Chains A and B, each alone.
Chain A
């Protein structure tokens, strides 16, 4: 673009603002009642967001809490947080690929391959943990780069490319570890992510910083939008959002700060498990990228209408490759977190249900399989739902086939909600 086309057109004398309808839309919802009505209309129109996932979570919690008295203990809930971390991170990566209407079936095994490399770098080569993590991430990025190039340059459907990678990548741990073997994953820092906790005081400080930061940012944005006469939410709604956010963050911090040891008189196990700040940092980072940067905006554009994006000068090929790179890179992080939780890497790591769980998590959280819709937070909410199922069923001593059936059913349900809301959206045009 030349310099002249990047500056706004001078406004020829037209009707002044007060004459136009655009003075009327300074705020789309004036009161919290209006906002609630808008929200209901959006739901009716098929814009469900994370509501189905939150309802699902409430149902699961109620059922499991009623059927087993250990479910709601801080010990078990902390476990749930740790168990969900690797699914959440994998799902967060998948959101980027799903946003473009693509799929990555190899993300699970890419995580397994990356974790193998990280483990070997530490065990066989004595690398310091962060260098080993960088090596694992590099493998993930390389895998994503290859998949993305095959999909966008050769035009092979991502379903096929990543199915091939799903099969081929399982060779990596199998060759490097050997059938039946496994690698210890007991590096103090990496294993510590799952078994060690943030000191209680530090946890509280971080939680308060998070709450104050969120409130400050929301209020600042709200005030500037009002001052400039731009579209803004009713003040009461902003207050409610801040209250809910604070409640969730402080409530979780409080829960995780309790002593959850089985023998609380003898031991003290308390504090936020280290994986939680890792997941939160990734959530904040990717949310920022998706909502506040040009890159994120262009991802949504390509997912919504690739041809329109192309005509707007967006390099669609590059966006596609970037999405696959992010997905496989996040898969590497997820693989390392999974190894941290189990304490080992084996040839089958990442080749089981991980991928389907993660796709399910993203879709349940509100990311569309049809492209153009999805947020990083979807992965967190959906991941908690998915992790709650085996956690609760495990307490109930159910045979593992039940677990498969329930999880499969939930995935199907989520995909149906997605398909139905998409139909409603195109009918109502929300």
Chain B
């Protein structure tokens, strides 16, 4: 959603509703798949940001992809993404999903070097695996992105 189109009170309310009630689904392909479980658990409690895990791609706004995505899994991930209803956001967790990580393209023949080659990605969370704080930081960046504050694009001199 472009902020210029809904630059009214209604738009602000809509954006507020969207960024404060992320219903997400997590696609796990590797060891990183444990980290969103920690993050949603009692110690880090992702639900205070309005995140609720779901089991049905048609009901979610946020797709969390974590871990290794192979060429065999790629068409299924794409089909999964296509089933989600707009507006939809994608968060990529872990080096494997970001760029192939330890299974980079000159070491592994079967791992897709970055899921941005399959689906558009909004936020990348680096780490192998990233800590729950990093995942929460990624989520807050995504909230700010929807709010219209492009924290992730800010340049540091």
Do chains A and B stick together as partners? no
Question: B-contacting residues of A (Cβ < 8 Å)?
Answer: none
